[in-house]
Structure 1
Amino acid sequence: MRRTGSILVVDDDPAICVVVGEALRRQGHKVEAVSSIRQRSEMLESFAPDVLITDVMLPDGDGLEDVAGILGRWPELHVIILSAQNTLNTAIRATEKGAFEYLPKPFDLNELTRAVSDALTMKEGADAEEVGLPHDGLPLVGRSPAMQEVYRTIARVLSNDLSILVLGESGTGKELVAEAIHSLGQRRTKPFVAINMAAIPRELIEAELFGYEKGAFTGAHARTAGKFEQAQGGTLFLDEIGDMPMEAQTRLLRVLQSGEVTTVGGSKPVRVNVRIVAATNKDLPQLIEENRFRQDLYYRLNVVPISLPPLRERREDVMILARHFLDQAAQEGLPRKSLSDEAAQLLMLYHWPGNVRELQNLMQRLAVLSRETVIAADILRNALPLAAVPADFTAPSEQLAQAVGEWAKRQLGIGISEPNRNLHNDLLAVVEPVLFQETLARVDGNQLRAAGLLGINRNTLRKKLTDYGLDPSQLRLND
């Protein structure tokens, strides 16, 4: 049984407070959220939380500075640190201050809810085997900037009933976004009903959406409620809306404008109250130009757009997702598996035309078919489509290790008798300028973005650039 407790969330980003708070409340926790160190101190006194989730950079100071003092006063409290300063120094400080967990921003919400569960389990003195029990936070996984923007948009729409249009290629997780909006929103106690327009014959779409009366057509043996009525008070997810026939679009628009549906073969309208979330992988503006989609319906649906990026554009999420799906498979009774470093490199090289759904299917297949606990690169290569990756692939990490090994052998051969030789600094002087140049070129000379990719402080990056005589304005991507 999941252990619940009281959680205090401290972050000056309202979207983070909303999303984290709603996800934790959904798991049965009591949650309060504040935005400053002063408010945090007041809530620690009055709220007495079991777990404190706090950002580092707060409007009135460093959120890490007095964590040791807090734990000295409340030794049973578990502290989880969030920080956009994703540096080794921050992680070390969090550990030294006694934090239970440190998660760099942008963080994965499922990782955070798991950390809360683990903290509460440890607080109650549970056996180590119980740590990391299955959880049901947001069904979305990823910490890439693109996914963080998706999370922020979801947070902004939870307290209202605006229509949502989710855009993205097949397999990117559009229905998961709809489920998240419903399960965290104010309609979560009511039904969530989904209908795929592309999977229903054209002549049956209106009957499926609006219902039908007995005798309305051959086979209509009794009055049947449509999806609108089934979703009464909840959320109706209209998937693949771009495949909806024009005649059905006209009637759907009328329903959205009036809030009433009339069954096929019926004459008395029924009042409905549902939230609409639609999704498509089609270019709706292009369909409008081709007179295949109604412009007025598009404006009615596209009040708040949410764009899901393809997996190939959020490669930093590939391994997070892969591990998540392997854990998920183990929770469902399949053998627990992990990926070798070389297999992980292969996953990063693959272009994922089927997006997240393809990755999920692959991980489930490997969990069944791989005989070893650790999935090797050759097993993964055989599971991927032919020609997906080079047959003579050598993991970049392995190539780098070999290169460093050869360099070290040469240097040791040259200067083994020199007692004051600093091989570590010598290696950094060779490697760091190349790394900085390539990173800055990739981000068009933007030092803030480069520092984020490198995982170092921007001031540290500036000093290094000066030391190596590198000019960011001259570093641009040429390929």
Structure 2
Amino acid sequence: MNAEGGLILVADDDKAIRTVLCQALARAGLRTRATGTAATLWRWVEEGEGDAVVTDVMMPDGDALDMLPALKRRRPNLPIIVMSAQNTVMTAIRAAEAGAFDYLAKPFDLQDLISCVRKALADAAGGAGAGGGGGESAESRDESLPLVGRSPAMQEVYRLMARLMNTDLTVMIQGESGTGKELVARALHDYGRRKGGPFVALNMAAIPRDLIESELFGHERGAFTGAVARAEGKFAQAQGGTLFLDEIGDMPAEAQTRLLRVLQESEFTPVGGRSARKADVRIIAATHQDLRALTREGAFRSDLYYRLNVAPLRLPPLRERVEDAPDLARAFLRRAAAEGLPRKILSPEAMERLKGYAWPGNVRELENLILRLAALHPEEIIGAAAVEAELAAGAEPPAPPPAGGRTEGAKPLSSLVEAHLAQYFALHGDALPPPGLHARILAEVDFPLIIMTLAATRGNQIRAAEILGVNRNTLRKRMRELDIPAARRKK
């Protein structure tokens, strides 16, 4: 069937939407037939009508996703494109599982629809199968995935995830600290073909360089000093499931070489071992760094990069989807209430303030803010003033002084504590602060201290750890806890 002139069956209960879609498809040289009910769409498909279908999910007489598997059994080569205003990751997953050719989140660009329809017709003409299909019904699952957002940027993430769910393709998730890379990796596993196997995560930045190979591949007894017993590595633990390699850009060169061999040969050998073992593992990697730049600098193997970057997935920072901040805030408030904190809501003005902030710490920073508001503010309805005060309390510190200098007018620790308490009492009257004052004050001291030290060492974390008198892993852990974004870790 030629992509030009095909008959498109359009189903949507909104007459205005049906009219707009049919006009747009007609201008593109396609014929259309429209209906407002699932029953009529079913009858047309049974009668052999149409070369492709464009249907809304929610119809007055049924759910199109529930009907879709039966339609695919009756007409296996009929491409079906589903539309939905319920723009969640679960909608995208259900569409992919039911066998939809593609999923479009309302509102969408009409040109995107036309391009999608033409591709569907071309694929059908070429005999390509459409959609995934099969598997456990997503409706029976817990739909409270920790992925929230209806912005166009997140809709693209959902579409990519839905396409990757039931494959074993290696995925590279790129995103700033705090954007939720591990949540995406877990969702790809939990709703994919390997959901019955284990999900094993390893953060490369948290493991000493000389132990990474042992952590990945395991070791035999006596393989090195301290190896008093045989140990299974993450590849063995993840057999039949998914291995999530976080902060892959921090992997040392020697471990990169061994990982490349595993990806090429699908087998690994424990440190000190003699026989290879089969690696039945799906790899999902993540990084906040620019791996292309690292390959150009020689810090990351280009051949390993191309092996890992089979299916790239970029997570947008929160500043690129601030319209999602209110939905995220509501989700975090519900979670806080479920964990025993007082039930709170944010006023419309407070929600608008969230949308006007840049969120350097991304979703993690927003979550921490909401938890503080739920725990510290007695009002059931939290207003914009409370949000403003908490954002001001967590604002970036003044620019760091020259190495060896002091910030002009820097407050001593006692003044910092006094300022913290004064701000709290100004908001809450005579009520005593909740438990955790020591940790909050410590965070206020550590944040500027680490920032200034990193600035003085031009982002050299090893040197910064030496100056601070802490282990490098301790420094990196503290940086993650304080949501010091990647851009602040180096000059």
Task: Return the TM-score normalized by structure 2.
Answer: 0.55
Q: Which residue pairs with 1:286 in the alignment?
A: 293
For the pair 1:181 / 2:179, whether they are aligned, the reply is no
What is the CA distance between 1:312 and its match in structure 2? 0.3
RMSD value, Cα: 3.3
CA gap of 1:365–1:302, structure 2 versus 1, over 3 A, is same
Question: Do structure 1's residue 155 and structure 2's residue 162 form an aligned pair?
Answer: yes
- Return the offset for 1:300: 0.1
Contact 1:202-1:245 within 8 A present in 2 as well: yes
Q: Over residues 39-68 of structure 1, what are the superposed CA-to-partner deviations in whole Å (9 max), with x where a residue is unaligned?
A: 9428999xxxxxxxxxxxx9478888x82x
1:41 aligns with 2:39: yes
Cα distance change of structure 1 residues 232 and 285 upon mapping to structure 2, 3 Å threshold: same
- Write the mapping of 1:24-173 to structure 2, written as runs, cut at 5 A: 40-41=38-39, 59=53, 67=60, 70=61, 105=85, 107-109=87-89, 135-173=142-180
**Matched residues in 2 for 1:112 and 1:152: separation?**
6
Report deviation, 1:377: 1.8
Partner residue of 1:256?
Answer: 263
Q: For residue 383 of structure 2, what is the aligned residue in structure 1?
A: 376
* Alignment correspondent of 1:213: 220
When residues 379 and 202 of structure 1 are mapped into structure 2, their CA distance, relative to the original with a 3 A threshold, is same
Equivalent pair of 1:209/1:228 in contact (CA under 8 Å): yes
Is 1:239 matched up with 2:239? Answer: no
* Aligned equivalents of 2:323, 2:89: Cα separation in 1: 15
Distance 1:11 1:368, change over 3 A: farther
Separation in structure 1 between the aligned mates of residue 157 and residue 339 of structure 2, nearest angstrom: 28
What is the CA distance between 1:240 and its match in structure 2? 0.3
Could you tell me which amino acid in structure 2 is paired with residue 206 of structure 1?
E
Distance 1:369 1:175 in 2: 28
Separation in 1, partners of 2:40, 2:278: 47
The 3 A distance-change label for structure 1 pair 110 and 385 is: farther
Deviation of 1:199 (Å): 0.6
Taking structure 1 as reference, are residues 387 and 275 closer, same or farther at Cα in structure 2, changes over 3 Å only?
closer
CA distance in 2, matches of 1:237, 1:63: 33
Q: 1:316 offset after TM fit, Å?
A: 1.1
Change (3 A) 1:38 1:106: closer
Assess, with a 3 A threshold, how the Cα gap between structure 1 residues 262 and 38 changes in structure 2: closer, same or farther: farther
Say which SS state the counterpart of residue 384 (structure 1) adopts.
Answer: helix
Question: Does residue 316 of structure 1 match 2:323?
Answer: yes
Q: Residues 288-437 of structure 1 correspond to what in structure 2 (within 5 A)?
A: 288-386=295-393
CA distance in 1, matches of 2:373, 2:55: 48
Q: CA distance change for structure 1 residues 284 and 63 in 2, over 3 Å: closer, same or farther? A: closer
CA-CA distance at 1:387 after TM superposition: 8.5
**Aligned match of 1:195 in 187, 202, 221?**
202
Question: How far apart are 1:178 and its partner, in Å?
Answer: 0.5
Tell me: CA distance 1:246–1:328, structure 2 relative to 1, closer, same or farther (3 Å): same
C-alpha displacement at 1:254, in angstroms?
Answer: 0.6
**Aligned partners of 2:189 and 2:199 also within 8 Å:** yes
- The Cα shift of 1:388 comes to 5.0
Identity rate, percent? 57
Aligned length: 295
Q: Distance in 2 between matches of 1:182 and 1:217?
A: 34
Structure 1 position 159, deviation (Å): 2.2
Any stretches of 5+ residues in structure 2 without a counterpart? 1-9, 13-33, 44-51, 66-82, 94-140, 397-491
State the secondary structure of the residue aligned to 1:215.
Answer: coil
In 1: Cα distance, 2:332 partner to 2:158 partner: 20
Q: What is the aligned partner in structure 2 of residue 229 from structure 1? A: 236
Give the partner amino acid of 1:207. S
Match of 1:267 in 2: 274
Gaps of 5+ in 1: 1-9, 13-35, 46-57, 71-76, 81-102, 114-133, 390-479
